[in-house]
Structure 1
Amino acid sequence: MPDAQAPAGAFQPCALIPIYNHKDTIAATVHALRAHDLPVVIVDDGSDEATRVVLDGLVAPGVQLIRLARNSGKGSAITAGMIAARDAGFTHALQIDADGQHEVADVPRFLAEGRAYPQALICGQPIYDDSVPRARLYGRYVTHVCVWLETLSFMLRDSMCGYRLYPLEATCAEIDRAPLPARMDFDTEVAVRLIWRGVPVRNLPTRVTYPENGLSHFHMLHDNLRISAMHTRLLLGMLPRAPVLLWRKRKKERSAACTA
């Protein structure tokens, strides 16, 4: 829980971990986050009994466990976790995967960036090693191009990385405005909609690995179909917003020119 004596407007972050059956990697991730004195909110997205046993053993001061009744998808788990974190008094949520892909050593960098830019969405910009599946790597560039069109900007370098620090006030306001996707299309859509909302973006390079024999819940056919439908919806949603997006871009360019 956040410090009850913290002043209004204080930076109060937590880590947010959605999990579905990653029983072999979750403990190391939680312990590494707690080593940075970061409160942890785990959202169990309908995991199996073996994973539930592991999660029960992780509950302790500073580690909160939320359980969804059935597997509803990564987006649903993150949404539930964000609302719970906001209601608990946290100002920011650091989303991180349960499977060990993300570099926990970069937590201080994300928190420092969030403290310096509290209104911004701090997005991980992946630095991959040779473990990344080539089909997944090349496929990301299609989404990158779509996002640049949907936001009429290059401010978001990678919209699919699940390692990012969210400002909870703006993000939960967007959740309240309209539901976000329940599954793997969540990460991209929430980023685009926050940009539409006027939330600035900071991109933070971070190492991402794909552990050997790692468990992935990305379904090549179904999730790619969802992502294609999402991009169609977002491209159509961009059209009425285009004048505002272009005005913001021009305003930012003028501001940068004045300070140069």
Structure 2
Amino acid sequence: MHFSVVIPAYNEASTIREIAIAALTYTPHVVVIDDGSSDNTAQLVQDLDIILIKHEQNKGKAAALASGIHASLELGVDAVITLDADGQHKTVDIGRFVETAQQFPDEIIIGSRLWDKHAFPRKRYLANKFANFWISWAAGRAVDDSQSGFRLYPTTLLQKLNISINRNKGFVLESEIIIHAAHLGYPCRSIQIDAIYHTDARPSHFRSVTDILFITRMVAGQLLLRGLYPAGLYRYLIHPHLKKTRIYQTGIIGLLVFLLSIIIMLATGLLTLLLLFSRNIILARSPCQSAQAGKLLVLGRRLRSGQPDHDYQQRLLRACHLLKSSADMEVLIVGGFTDGSVLSESAAGKQFLEQQGISTSRIQIEEGSTHTLENFRLIYKTLLNTTEPVTLITSRYHLGRSHDIANGFAIKHTLCGAEDYFIFNLPNLVHLFSEAFFLHWYWTAKFIGKLTRSQFILQRISNPTD
């Protein structure tokens, strides 16, 4: 694959030369745009075998990217990689971008940094998550890190885009490209990269509040043009979760129950949904109640680059703490193969616990389930003859739904939140709302199953003899 690397730079004298030289080891087509710098950014790279574009005055990141992309298209490359000039992106990741693009040539590849929220400044993290929601809605597809400047664009997409450029575009352009690309049939695919923040780095040009407001205004305009684009909200927020559920896989019956659940929500003025949401908050704040002996039950999560993500690690660390506090305890980790991973969720969890010093003999795994409902169906079969309650460990926002489904399968349990306490922030509240939505669907299915005495439904969502 022939590709260029575009590096917009504004007063980046301390880092630009090192980054440009590193990029040249991957491609001869490196384009640096000096966007009206007041330092010697341009002079530091003018002797390198690169394309150097100089703006006489600072025009903003959007204009710099546009200049670099235009120059790249004239080179006839297959793809354009953009990265920031401040040293926050590792050029060694360029090879991973290219490898991913070769597998998915008609997709935008984005380097996602939000997988480890503790490595991210809290204000920036929350601002990015806020932007992700609106951009994902407008695009109709989930976008993991909409504000990452480390990207790969296929040139077939860039040739089709018709987006105006002005000084106020700034950081808005990259978000706008995602939305237009999705409507042209070019989705985004994320690869995990590190979030790097040097203590001696110059202040970021990204203004968390101001630029997010500009981005939100742009997205609002896009949504209004499409009548608020309800189909996009469904595709982003609801459809991916439906695909993970067994009810979805039951076909027309599951979908009819889903529609009935929506009707009940609307008919009650969302009261039933809000009641479940409130109850989820109460359970999320409940103290950890673990048995002194017996079995721990850890619910797996989808892996990130083959490894447990932060929330999954929190669950495993809670289990590790309890296992070390009692030699009589054992743990069952549930979770199969998801998202094409060669390692199951439970196997990855087992490896993590072994690295924490937990003996293999105390760890049992279940690899046949791929979502919460299926987790508990197989747990019920595994623990069929168990009389003692198990300690159910999961993220605090997930306790409510897990508790009700465990009760549905008549699994004796106590609840133990993975985190020490529940934090009221936007991501957790979104999680709680999503959990309430799917819990509403679960209770609707259970009610219909019992009302109609449908073993077809009940056997899939509960212990029908309960």
| TM-score, scaled to structure 1 | 0.81
Identify the match of residue 163 of structure 2 among 178, 183, 194: 178
**2:75 counterpart residue number:** 88
The answer (yes or no) to whether the contact 2:112–2:148 under 8 Å persists in 1 is: yes
Cα displacement string for residues 109-166 of structure 1 (whole angstroms, at most 9, x for unaligned residues): 1011112222211111114575532111111111111122212332x21111100100
Matches within 5 A, 1:146-157: 146-154=134-142, 156-157=143-144
Residues 1:74 and 2:61 are matched in the alignment: yes
Matches within 5 A, 1:15-94: 15-57=5-47, 59-60=48-49, 63-94=50-81
Aligned-pair identity in percent equals 25
Larger-gyration structure (1/2): 2
Q: 2:40 is matched by which residue type in structure 1?
A: A
- Quote the Cα distance in structure 1 between the aligned partners of 2:159 and 2:38: 29
Any idea what SS the aligned residue of 1:194 has?
helix
Q: Quote the RMSD (CA, aligned, Å).
A: 2.7
Unpaired segments of 5 or more residues in structure 1? Answer: 1-10
Matches within 5 A, 1:115-130: 115-126=102-113, 127-128=115-116
* Inter-CA distance 239–124: structure 2 relative to 1 (3 Å threshold): farther
* Inter-CA distance 119–21: structure 2 relative to 1 (3 Å threshold): same
* Inter-CA distance 245–171: structure 2 relative to 1 (3 Å threshold): farther
- Quote the Cα distance in structure 1 between the aligned partners of 2:108 and 2:130: 22
- Quote the Cα distance in structure 1 between the aligned partners of 2:38 and 2:159: 29
| TM-score, scaled to structure 2 | 0.47
Q: 1:20 is matched by which residue type in structure 2?
A: Y
Deviates most, 217-226 or 102-111? 217-226
Aligned pairs, number: 237
Shift of 1:172: 3.2
**1:160 counterpart residue number:** 147
* Inter-CA distance 130–25: structure 2 relative to 1 (3 Å threshold): farther
Identify the match of residue 96 of structure 2 among 93, 101, 109: 109
- Quote the Cα distance in structure 1 between the aligned partners of 2:2 and 2:75: 10
Any idea what SS the aligned residue of 2:181 has?
helix
The answer (yes or no) to whether the contact 1:82–1:93 under 8 Å persists in 2 is: yes
The answer (yes or no) to whether the contact 1:120–1:167 under 8 Å persists in 2 is: yes
Q: 1:84 is matched by which residue type in structure 2?
A: A
- Quote the Cα distance in structure 2 between the aligned partners of 1:152 and 1:236: 14
- Quote the Cα distance in structure 2 between the aligned partners of 1:243 and 1:224: 24
Shift of 1:171: 1.9
Unpaired segments of 5 or more residues in structure 2? Answer: 244-248, 250-339, 341-466
Deviates most, 92-101 or 226-235? 226-235
Cα displacement string for residues 198-240 of structure 1 (whole angstroms, at most 9, x for unaligned residues): 1132211111201122121123454233223222222223437
The answer (yes or no) to whether the contact 2:139–2:232 under 8 Å persists in 1 is: no
The answer (yes or no) to whether the contact 2:10–2:37 under 8 Å persists in 1 is: yes
